């Protein structure tokens, strides 16, 4: 059975999947270190959590994950606040993008810097804390799009999520057999602020934020090495996405 991870640091916690993870982890008895750029939303979330779970400790800090120095400062400050951080969830991400060569390098670069380079900085900062303690749980939130190269506006996003997953997988290989555990979470279509312009009725398999995050939290609490969430349809779909011939894949996506 996985150990109880008392204090959890979540990046990108002001809305969407991050905010819902905070709600569900608080309900399970965890203390929380929450960070994001929008401190007004963080403050509102902290007030909400205090009203529902007054016994839980929740600290918030402003963080732009693309500011390398700030990432290390905030992670270290949270560790000082609580005495230790038991689990870090690298969740902050960006969904911008355009087909390559269509004049939107700015959007693709911003996505790459946020979803991969900033994920590297968060990974460095988290592992600094865990190596010092000799234990911890590192969680990378990737995406089902990481299973295979994606077309058009998804090309850069999928590539960054694959890269982030490989960062975590490399750590898992290195740390196998130690008290530092590594999980990669591959969410499928989960309604969130990132995709609020998408009509859920037109996307097969899209679930609500609450339902999707419940599957994420369950996998994280069990400290699974990797998990496609929700498991149905995404666990079997991951096999199809990885191995289907290209003509078949193009009809699916």
Q: Give me the chain's average pLDDT, please.
A: 93
Give per-residue pLDDT as tens, 18-50: 999 999 999 999 999 999 999 999 999 999 999
* β-sheet bridge partners, residue 35: 11, 61
Question: Per the domain annotation, does 2 fall within a domain?
Answer: no
Can you read off the two tokens belonging to residue 189?
Answer: 């279509």
Q: pLDDT band at residue 206, thresholds of 50, 70 and 90?
A: confident
Question: Per the domain annotation, does 69 fall within a domain?
Answer: yes
pLDDT score of 4? 72
Q: Does the pLDDT of residue 208 top 60, yes or no? A: yes
Report yes or no on whether pTM surpasses 0.85: yes
Q: How many domains does the chain have?
A: 1
CA distance 14 to 45: 7
pLDDT score of 202? 47
Q: Does the pLDDT of residue 1 top 60, yes or no? A: no
Question: Per the domain annotation, does 1 fall within a domain?
Answer: no
Among this protein's residues, is 157 annotated catalytic?
Answer: yes
Q: Does the pLDDT of residue 157 top 90, yes or no? A: yes
CA distance 186 to 37: 24
- Please list the alpha-helical segments (H only) found in 28-154: 39-52, 68-82, 105-112, 118-133
Give per-residue pLDDT as tens, 125-139: 999 999 999 999 999
Give per-residue pLDDT as tens, 59-77: 999 999 999 999 999 999 9
pLDDT score of 195? 46
Give the domain range for residue 228.
7-252
CA distance 109 to 53: 40
Catalytic residue among 105, 157, 176, 189: 157
CA angle 234, 184, 172 (to 5 degrees): 140
Q: What are phi and psi of 105, to 5 degrees?
A: -55, -35
- CATH number of 42's domain: 3.40.50.720
pLDDT score of 129? 98
* β-sheet bridge partners, residue 9: 33, 88
């Amino acid at each position: 059975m996985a150990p109880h991870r008392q204090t959890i640091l979540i990046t990108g916690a002001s809305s969407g999947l991050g905010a819902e993870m905070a709600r569900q982890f608080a309900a399970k008895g965890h203390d929380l270190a929450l960070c994001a750029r929008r401190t007004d939303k963080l403050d509102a979330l902290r007030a909400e959590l205090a009203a529902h779970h007054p016994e839980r400790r929740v600290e918030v800090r402003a963080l732009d994950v693309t500011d390398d120095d700030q990432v290390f400062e905030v992670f270290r400050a949270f560790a000082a606040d609580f005495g230790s951080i038991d689990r870090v969830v690298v969740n902050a991400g960006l969904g911008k993008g355009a087909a390559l060569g269509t004049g939107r390098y700015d959007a693709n670069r911003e996505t790459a810097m946020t979803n991969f380079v900033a994920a590297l900085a968060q990974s460095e900062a988290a592992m600094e804390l865990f190596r010092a303690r000799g234990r911890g749980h590192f969680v990378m939130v990737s995406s089902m799009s990481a299973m295979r190269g994606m077309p058009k506006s998804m090309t850069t996003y999928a590539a960054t999520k694959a890269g982030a997953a490989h960062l975590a997988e490399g750590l898992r290989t290195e740390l196998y057999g130690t008290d530092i555990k590594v999980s990669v979470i591959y969410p499928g279509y989960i309604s969130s602020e990132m995709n609020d312009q998408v009509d859920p009725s037109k996307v097969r398999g899209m679930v609500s934020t609450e339902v999707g995050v419940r599957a994420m939290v369950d996998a994280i609490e069990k400290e699974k090495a990797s998990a496609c969430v929700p498991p149905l349809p995404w666990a079997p779909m991951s096999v199809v996405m990885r191995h289907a011939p290209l003509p078949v894949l193009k009809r699916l996506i």
